[in-house]
Chain A
Amino acid sequence: MSWVLGLSGLYHDSAAVLLHDGRVVAAASEERFSRVKHDAGLPVQATRWCLAHAGITMADVTHVTWYEKPLRKFERMLVSQVANFPRSASAFRRGTFNWLTEKLWVKAAIVKELGVAPARVLFSDHHQSHAASAFYASPYAEAAVLTVDGVGEWATTSLYRGGPGGLELLGEVLFPDSIGLVYSAFTAYLGFQVNDGEYKVMGMAAYGEPRFVDEVRKVLRPREDGAFDVDLSYVSYHWSADQSYTRRLEELLGPARFPGSGFDPTTAEGKRYADIAASVQRVTEDALVAIANVLHARTGLDTLCLAGGVALNSVANRALLTRGPFARLFVQPAAGDAGGAMGAALWTWHEVMGNPRTLDTPVLPGPGLGQAWDDATIGALLTDLRVKHEVLAPDTVAVRAAADIVEGRVLGWVQGRFEWGPRALGHRSILADPRRADMKDRINARIKYRELFRPFAPSVCAGAEGRYFDVPPGGEQLAEWMLLVAPVTTDDFPATTHADGTARLHVVHAAANPLYHALLTEVGRLTGHPVVLNTSFNLKGEPIVSSPVQALATFFRSGLDVLYLGAHRVEQTGSYDG
């Protein structure tokens, strides 16, 4: 019996993951507890919950592993800022202050805040953690492993071979050449928040044509050896803490989009932004495919495990599958920095402690790895808050919810443990009928209060996806965790089909989520299509809800019609008058 805890944080997306004998038993991002989106603190509350869930104390934990090497990261920051003297003065002042007062003392903070014995605190490398999260969580004995993100210590892209002997680092691309940071620079240029709005760029790209590919390739330049260079005159992430692109990028592409301004792809200006987004997306895909070719040539393997923030780009994942050399692609649900916590723990279990892999039981039992609340607790809460509600027999929840959806209601759906990763996979979701053309605008404008161009995903019963979507071979696992975009082959779902005729697909297996599968099956019985619109249960700018209290607070501030909290059904109208 051995417990290992992995931690990430102090940059963005802090998280804690607890392993028991090499299997994940609890995993949660700090934001689900603190309600600070992309919480950058130490994952104290997530850690406490993981231990409580397992019924253990910190004394039972063999090792606590931080997901990166803080001193090497500090070195990179110093070298980079000194090299960019004197324009890096402001970033140096702020960054150094931050490092000297907080980040350099991460070990002391872990010891103090979490009550860990200093000798039990270990440190992985940033990309090693990403690689371990992808390979050791996968069901494959051997695989090529690619990690691509903004930057870790020095590496921005790393190539590994994973096998019985563990992870072997084959090569890496170093800062400041970074696919992730260039994508983020364009995210800022397009008026979105870095480290949050990247998926909005992906959504915006569907409205455009990649007519600025040549210009974007001046920024992210492909190399003959399959790697890439960044022309640093267009970006400033290596010397500025305030701005990630330079005036030269605006000279190249025109004025940047003003943050928070509207986006209308039918106007010339809106079309230009959409075209730039499409071009950035295309160049990113090309760079990924090129580096995947390098990795394939060096490993000769057919399976690719992918991690790092760029692995959450579901459009690029499709490009990797359809244009790349690998037959199969594996990405775990929290592929970004939160997943580094899982990788740090898995690396410790296998490579530091020397435990061999056993592939008979999955390392990840499913995407629902967070906290759950039982019906008795939910019932008491609703009574205390004087919220009128209906208690359903457990076997009627799916039937009743399906009827609500088919009748045009929009549901809040809170069932079981909350998800691991940034996607709502039927545990903390907003659900609706994807056949209704007005549903997309209705949910964006009146329920989630977010940009109208943002798409929604369809959830579909496993086995039925081929009727509606063109899922490329080797992408089955990605579709289970909503990490793959697929062309839609029907006109039946206007609310979940994006402007370019694709959808970010979520395939639901009965074994992974029986209640949600039953709901989809019932919708299929009523409509002939076992498909629902599924989007995360949150409002714009907020983390996905976790607890029933958060769900109720979000529900009563939204335009949702009905809330399913376990076996409890709450209607928006007339259920609560304060």
Chain B
Amino acid sequence: MTISAANLPIWLASWLVWKIVPGRAAAKMAEFSHTEAGSGLDMLAAVEETTRPELRARYFRHALDELRHARLFRERAQAWSGARGRTQAVLEDSGFIASHGIRTTESLFRQLGEREFLAFVWVHEKRGAEQFDIYASLLGHDAATAAMFAEIAKDERFHIAYSRAELDRLAKAGDEAGVRGAVFKVRARRAWQLWVRLSLDFGNFMAGIWLTILYVVLLGPFSVVARAERPVGGVVPPAPRPAPADRAREMI
């Protein structure tokens, strides 16, 4: 693995993750598992929605790969986490998938359309392969993990190859500008989403501070009253209520 100016930041970040922070590597594996599972779901949705039989087959194979990767990462995380409660709890709680492309009401494929979806696959798989190369180089001393990354890298090469080949086919069919535009849009969206994520993290942080101040300064004094108002136990009679038709429009 050659360290270049382009991959230096990610190499440094990965080095910190894998080599320095104790326990972080297992948590990172758990996160990868979530991400891969989410990608698998995106691909399965594409299988259901594409109208092109040859791509349907590719997407299906791709989906199975991603879901297998999710399992491999989960197994590594479990193997590494040992008695570290947090990662184990994350894995236990995670079930199948927590986020990544599924909280939107439309599938990724439906949002992007076939051409941009292919561009998305190509850009993200390429990026993922580069990252996994770095991780493999940093974890070369761990034979099982290195073997896992090697297996995943093989799949990633297939994903990159078929999505690139399909984009090339579209370009040769006269849609060169469209393909270039789709790749640009995917890269731009990736940068935009990074910015949005950072902004949200900052916003959440600030909201946390303000809510803490609100809690201590404004709500704290009411705690004495609230404590005194614990409902009586047992079966209590219902409070008088308006007729259903009257209360149905009320949110309270």
Contact = CB atoms under 8 A, between A and B. Distances in A.
Interface of A: 34-38, 41-42, 44-45, 65, 69-72, 75, 78-86, 89, 92-93, 96-97, 106-107, 113, 122-124, 154, 157, 159, 166, 169-175, 177, 191-193, 196, 223, 225-227, 229, 258-261, 291, 294, 347-348, 351-352, 354, 381, 383-386, 541-543, 547, 549-550, 552-553, 556-557, 578
Contacts of A259: 85, 88-89, 92-93
Contact of B220 (A86, A191, A347): A86
Contacts of B208: 93, 97
B147 interface: no
Given A172-B236, A557-B64, A348 B91 contact: no
Interface of B is mostly: helix
Interface stretch (B11-19, B176-184, B185-193, B224-232): B224-232
Given A34-B102, A229-B233, A385 B67 contact: no
Interface in B65-119: 67-68, 71, 78, 83, 85, 88-89, 91-98, 102-103, 105
Given A154-B231, A193-B95, A85 B223 contact: yes
Contacts of B91: 260
Nearest to B50: A384
Contacts of B102: 34-36
A79 B226 contact: yes
B173 interface: no
A171 B238 contact: yes
A379 to B, nearest CB: 13
20 contacts: A35-B44, A41-B103, A80-B226, A82-B222, A83-B230, A85-B220, A85-B223, A86-B216, A86-B220, A93-B212, A171-B238, A173-B233, A258-B83, A258-B85, A351-B244, A351-B245, A354-B245, A384-B53, A541-B94, A549-B47
B215 A44 contact: no
A172 B251 contact: no
Contacts of B215: 85-86, 89, 92-93
Contact of B92 (A72, A166, A260, A578): A260
Contact of A89 (B63, B212, B226, B251): B212
A270 to B, nearest CB: 17
Contacts of A41: 103
Contacts of A34: 102
Most buried by A among B78, B83, B103, B231: B231
B204 interface: yes
Most buried by A among B40, B92, B227, B249: B92
B92 A123 contact: no
Nearest to B52: A384
Contact of B235 (A166, A172, A552, A557): A172
Closest 8 CB pairs of A and B: A85-B223, A541-B95, A83-B226, A71-B252, A351-B244, A259-B92, A171-B235, A384-B53
Contacts of B252: 69, 71-72, 75
Given A35-B96, A173-B236, 19 more contacts: A36-B102, A42-B105, A70-B251, A80-B226, A85-B223, A85-B226, A86-B223, A89-B212, A96-B211, A123-B248, A157-B235, A171-B236, A258-B88, A259-B93, A260-B91, A386-B57, A549-B48, A557-B64, A557-B68
Most buried by A among B78, B222, B238: B238
A46 to B, nearest CB: 11
A35 B252 CA distance: 32
Contact of A36 (B53, B56, B97): B97
B76 to A, nearest CB: 14
B51 to A, nearest CB: 10
B161 interface: no
Most buried by B among A45, A72, A89: A89
B245 A172 contact: no
Contacts of B212: 89, 93
A542 B249 contact: no
A401 to B, nearest CB: 24
B61 interface: yes
B207 interface: yes
Contacts of A550: 44
